[in-house]
Each structure stands twice: as structure tokens, then as C-alpha cells.
Amino acid sequence: MSSPDRDVPLAGAEPLIEVHAHFLHARCGRKDWQERNASRLRAGDRIGVTVHVASILGTWGHTSPIYFPSPADVTLGNDEMLALQKRESGRVRSYVTVNPNDTEHSLREIERCLAQGAIGIKLAASRRADDPLLDAIAEEAARRGVPVLQHVWQHRRRDWPGQEASDGVELARLAARHPDASFILAHIGGGGDWQHTLPALAEVPNVYVDLSGSGVDRGMLDRTLTAVGASRMVWGSDLTMETGLAKLWALEVIGLSADEMASIRWRNAARIFPRNSFPMLAVSASTVGAR
């Protein structure tokens, strides 16, 4: 097999927004946290990621559960994420992570972190997506014009330890109640039965499908395209960047037009995040246009 040219991004030079990324920090209990963060940025550069939109879920389980982070850990994780965004302002943007079980704290965090440059809200698995408790957060997202990235277990058939996971049907209910908010259904390849999710989203136009996750089932991309169209697909990698790259390469051979490919790579994300969220994109897009 031929070696790729090191100067050319592996996924091409066109803009690329990763809508689902994570970073670690010093208080998450992992000695290799800096190495992992550096690895993500290095791999992102190799792939050609223009910007990673990322979140930190508290202390990643170190001092409170990953999916049920304490208010203090939520705040710590958000602070770390905002600091990283500041350090890597050319290639990293932040979600504000909240645990909706503490509504007041969640709303305060949203206000605080959006004021400091966060551009979306991350909901993990602290509460089922269709729970009325999430309405206040969805209303705030709509009011402020930021998308909500909702962790989803594709076709959750039972409760799993350590999380109160939601599936596509449950997210669709929340999205139907809040048609003015944009929701990103997390990691269609992130575990569970993705085939169950797709029909649940057919009539909910404000839900976008994030292609991330370690799952790389053949047929997943084609059927997502058929179910929701290229205008509702967004790219990310979550915990496995090689599967993200593989999906980009696979998208290149399933018959998409250049416009559809651009939609998935960056245009859809640029549309659902607040205006001016990605100033680096203007530079990148103009560079591409000049080639």
C-alpha cells in the first residue's frame, strides 16, 4: 500500500468541523491526559480537521460519575474546556457540559460558559432525553441559538449501569417539543442498534446525526444518508479518530456530490452553531477556494 503524502491532509484540504470531540485534564485521574490531548490534536492535523468542537464531562469519573457529574465537577470540566479553547483558539471550540438534574446550576453554567466563548451545550446521560427536566435547557438552547449535543445509546433496550442513556426515539420527542432548537444525536456508530435510530428521526428535521463512534458497520453511512439526507449529517470522531477518518474516506465513494460532501464536512455544522463560531473556517474555506 502506498504511503500518503505527509503534507496533504488524509481527508483532503477542504474545511472539516468535528462536532464531537473530548479532551482530558489534570484532575481526571489519568497520568497520560496531556499525551491523549496531544494525540487528538496531532491526529486532527493529519486528518485535516479545521476545528474540534469538544467537551469535558466533569472529571471523567475520577471524583464523580462520568454521566452523573457533580456540580463542582461539571464546573471544573467546563473551566478546563474553556481554558483549552483559549490555548488552542485556532482549532478548538467548546461545548458547555451540564447535568440537568441540577437545573439551576445547569442554566448558570450555560450562561457563564457561553459568555466565555462556548458555542453549544453537551448533554450526556444524566437524565433521559425526553424527560421534562430537559425542557428548560432546550428552551435556553433555542433562545441562545446554540445546538445541543445529546449522548445517545442507539436503541437502548434496557438500563445500563452508570448512565441514564437515551435513544433516538427519546431524543426525537424532545426535539419535537422544541422545534426551534437544534439537536445533534451523538455517535450513530457509538454503540447500540443504529438501524433503530434512523427511522425515529425521519420526521424530526431539527435533529442532526453525528457520524462519530467506534462502530464502522457497512451500510451505516448509506442508510443514514437515505434516512435523513446529507443536510442533516455532521462529522465527528468521539473516542476513535481512525474510524472518523475511515468514514470520511467511505463517504467519498458512496456517490455524494461535492455539495453534499461539503455539507457533511462543515456546512451543516457552520449552520447550526452560532454565527461566527468558526472564524478559522473563513480562512480555510478561502484557501480551498483559491486552490
- Reported residue count of the chain is 291
User: How buried is 266 (Cβ within 10 angstroms: 0-12 exposed, 13-18 middle, 19+ buried)?
Assistant: buried
Minimum gap (Å) between residue 226 Cβ and other proteins: 12
| Comparison of 63 and 195: residue with beta carbon closer to other proteins | 195
Query: In angstroms, what is the minimal distance from the CB of 249 to other proteins?
Result: 4
Sorted by sequence, the CB contacts under 8 Å of residue 287 that are 6+ apart come out as 13
Can you read off the three cell numbers belonging to residue 77? 470540566
Which residues have a Cβ under 8 Å from the Cβ of 199 and sit 6 or more positions away? 227
Residues forming contacts to other proteins in the complex (CB under 8 A) are 1-2, 4, 10, 36-37, 39-40, 42-43, 46-47, 153-155, 157, 191-195, 214-219, 222, 239-243, 245-247, 249-250, 253
Question: Which H helix or E strand runs over 135?
Answer: helix 135-144
Query: Min. distance of Cβ 200 from other proteins in angstroms?
Result: 15
The residue (of 107 and 216) whose beta carbon lies closer to other proteins is: 216
Given the complex with other proteins, which of 4 and 162 has the nearer CB atom?
A: 4
**DSSP symbol at 192:** B
Nearer to other proteins, 116 or 240 (CB): 240
CB of 98: closest distance to other proteins in angstroms? 24
**Closest CB to other proteins among residues 54, 114:** 54
Q: Within 10 Å of residue 19's Cβ, how many Cβ atoms?
A: 29
Q: How far is the CB of 240 from other proteins (least distance, A)?
A: 5
